Amino acid sequence: MSDDQFPEAPAVVRLPRYTKREQDEILGDGDDPFGVAAAGLTWLPKKEHFGIRHGDRLVAHAGLLRLPVTIGDTETEVVGVGGVAVAPDRQGRGLARLVVQAALDHARTMGPQHALLFCRPALVPLYQRLGWHPLGTEVLVEQPESRLVSMPLRTMVTALHDNAYWPSEPVRLFSLPM
């Protein structure tokens, strides 16, 4: 196998664990691999993890967990998607598309009607290409010491089921962001 090619579409697998070590394997151990440190936020670890290996090495990841939210006055749950990462030397080959798609296939079995993620403004076009939509409303998220802050990053949502409807109303997460 050439180093540049997978023999066929790479398999996405459930990962038994995803710690700092696995993240470093993908992105290296730099200070700010997601480019979001300036936002100064505390993040929630994800509960379910999907990954792509290339040989012995983990090269892509997406994580999921269920989160309670309100949209306007409506209490509901979303599937939070986070920790989307592709190794720098494997980027631009569709691995984020594959691993996020596999994570969303699982999210469709979890119950909530929508998945939600936070990203830097520069990544909005990429997620739009994957079928996500930017929210225009304020999103409040919890932070340590009972603080409630307005999310400074962009919030994107995607429907997990036919006829899912996302009202254009303010959102509040009853947790840290993921």
Ligand X SMILES: CC(C)(COP(=O)(O)OP(=O)(O)OC[C@H]1O[C@@H](n2cnc3c(N)ncnc32)[C@H](O)[C@@H]1OP(=O)(O)O)[C@@H](O)C(=O)NCCC(=O)NCCS
| Interaction between residue 85 and ligand X (CB under 6 A) | yes
- Bridge partner residues of 52 (DSSP): 12, 60
Among 1-9, 16-24, 89-97, 101-109, which window interacts with ligand X (CB under 6 A)? 89-97
- Which of 42, 76, 91, 137 is close enough to bind ligand X by CB under 6 A? 91
Each residue 126-145 as x (binds ligand X by CB under 6 A) or -, in order, gives x--xx---------------
* 116 and 80 Cβ atoms separated by less than 8 Å: yes
CB contact at 8 A, 83 and 116: no
Closest by CA to 77, choosing from 51, 110, 109, is: 110
DSSP codes joined into one string, 18-60:
--HHHHHHHH-S-S-TTS-GGG----PPPSEEEEEEETTEEEE
- Which run of H or of E encompasses 135? none
Contacting range for ligand X; rule: CB under 6 A; set: 1-9, 42-50, 84-92, 134-142: 84-92
Our CB check for ligand X shows the closer of 71 and 96 to be 96
Nearer to ligand X, 112 or 127 (CB): 127
Give the nearer residue to ligand X in terms of CB position, either 67 or 95: 95
Given the structure tokens 């949209």, which residue do they identify?
Answer: 71
Residue 123 in the binding site for ligand X (CB under 6 A): yes
92 counts as binding ligand X under rule CB under 6 A: yes
Cβ(175)–Cβ(67) under 8 Å? Answer: yes
Residues that bind ligand X (CB under 6 A): 33-35, 84-86, 91-97, 119, 123, 125-126, 129-130
